[in-house]
């Protein structure tokens, strides 16, 4: 139930119709030369997310290496979670031999499956992994009903 | 602050010959390599790897970077709702040129990015010999 931002190469002008966009996307798939490599490890979105739940919490993990903790913004609005920020380039104005780590701004929004207790959301950033714990609202937590014997 | 939007990219997996013996996936970390007058800097993106999990080995001009994830997966009793990335180990090998001072390589790990600074050997300064009149 996530909102996935599709890979949107910059050469798409905004004037293109959705069909044209789709056709180009298909063409690109057909042009893939290395059919033997696994089609996708992860998704073309940043940051990639893993979302888990147990009875009490929803856990969101995001892989965001190289982003400074103070450059990450997390906001919760109703049952929408938004993670945005910016990864900055470390070697500015240097002569690059290789540049594989993409830099720039990112923003990602997901709709959470249940209501959460917004005031008790916590987030931790460690080794490039952002871990957000979102406690479920009391009314959606599973209740155990004791059966008494008369 | 730039207005540039981050382009997404996928993790590349190591193509192994033969079957792997470990269940863990191995990825090739994305790297940046840049250079200035004094040194060559290498950045490797290894999210989830702590300082203790990194190994950098230099052997006869080849530089090996390895990162192994800590084994503290507490997700066993949780239901997966969405999985877009997989944790795994990282491995990548580079050839280091002779102009690098191999004894002075420095490594720093922060926010899942390994930074290696490879200082260049400073060329011997030309010595000016003064000529005296006899």
Q: Which residue has the higher pLDDT, B48 or A16?
A: B48
pLDDT digit string (tens) for A50-61? Answer: 898 888 899 999
Which chain B residues are closer than 8 Å to A106 by Cβ?
Answer: 5-6
**Which residue among A91, A94, A103 sits closest to B6, beta carbon to beta carbon?**
A103
Write out chain A in H/E/C secondary structure: CECCCCCCCCCCCCCCCHHHHHHHHHHHHHCCCCCCCCCCCCCCCCCCEEEEECCCEEEEEEECCCCCHHHEEEEEECCEEEEEEEECCCCCCCEEEEECCCCEEEEEEEECCCCECHHHCEEEEECCEEEEEEEECHHHCCCCCCCCCC
Using the beta-carbon criterion (under 8 Å), do B32 and A50 form an inter-chain contact? no
Q: Where are the domains of chain B?
A: 24-71+85-119
Burial B14-40 (b: 16+ CB within 10 A, else e): eeeeeeeeeeebbbbbbbbbbbeeebb
Domains of chain A: 45-91+100-139 (2.60.40.790)
- Supply the mean pLDDT for chain A: 80
**Residue A91 binned pLDDT confidence (cut-offs 50, 70, 90):** confident
Per-residue pLDDT of chain B (134 residues; tens, 9 = 90+): 456 777 777 777 777 666 666 667 788 999 999 988 888 899 999 999 999 999 999 887 889 999 988 766 666 778 888 888 888 889 999 988 777 888 888 999 999 999 999 998 877 667 788 888 87
Across residues A75-83, what is the average pLDDT? 90
* pLDDT > 60? residue A41: no
Find the closest chain B residue to A87 by CA distance: B6
Across residues A34-56, what is the average pLDDT? 69
Which chain A residues are closer than 8 Å to B79 by Cβ?
Answer: 52-54
pLDDT digit string (tens) for A66-76? Answer: 999 899 999 99
Using the beta-carbon criterion (under 8 Å), do A40 and B10 form an inter-chain contact? yes
Mutate: best of B69, B82, B87, B99, partner A, most A CBs <10 A: B82
**Residue A43 binned pLDDT confidence (cut-offs 50, 70, 90):** low
* pLDDT > 70? residue A4: no
**Can you tell me the distance from the alpha carbon of A18 to that of B125, in angstroms, rounded to the nearest whole number?**
63
* pLDDT > 80? residue A131: yes
**Residue A95 binned pLDDT confidence (cut-offs 50, 70, 90):** confident
| Residue B48: DSSP 8-state | T
The CATH number given to B24-71+85-119 is: 2.60.40.790
């Amino acid at each position: 139930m996530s909102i996935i931002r599709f890979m949107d190469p910059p050469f798409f002008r905004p004037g293109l119709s959705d069909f044209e966009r789709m056709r180009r996307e298909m063409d690109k798939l057909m042009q893939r030369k290395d059919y033997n490599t696994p089609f996708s490890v992860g998704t073309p979105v940043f940051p990639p997310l893993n979302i888990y739940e147990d009875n009490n919490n929803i856990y969101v993990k995001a892989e965001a290496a190289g982003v400074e903790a103070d450059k990450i913004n997390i906001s919760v609005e109703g049952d929408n979670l938004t993670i945005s920020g910016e990864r900055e380039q470390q070697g500015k104005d240097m002569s690059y031999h290789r540049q594989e780590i993409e830099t720039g701004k990112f923003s990602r929004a997901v709709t959470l499956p249940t209501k959460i207790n917004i005031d008790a959301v916590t987030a931790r950033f460690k080794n490039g992994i952002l871990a957000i714990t979102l406690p479920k609202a009391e009314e959606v937590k599973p209740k155990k009903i004791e059966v008494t014997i008369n | 602050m730039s207005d540039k939007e981050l382009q997404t990219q996928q993790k590349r997996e190591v193509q192994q010959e033969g079957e792997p013996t470990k269940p863990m996936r191995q990825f090739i970390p994305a790297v940046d390599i840049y250079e200035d007058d004094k040194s060559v800097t290498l950045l490797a993106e290894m999210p989830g790897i702590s300082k203790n999990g990194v190994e950098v080995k230099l052997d006869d001009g080849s530089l090996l970077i390895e990162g192994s994830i800590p084994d503290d997966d507490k997700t066993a009793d949780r239901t997966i709702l969405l999985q877009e990335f997989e944790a795994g180990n990282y491995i990548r090998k580079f050839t280091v040129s002779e102009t690098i001072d191999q004894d002075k390589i420095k490594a720093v790990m922060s926010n899942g990015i390994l930074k290696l600074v490879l200082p260049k050997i400073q060329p011997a300064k030309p010595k000016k010999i003064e000529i005296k009149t006899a």
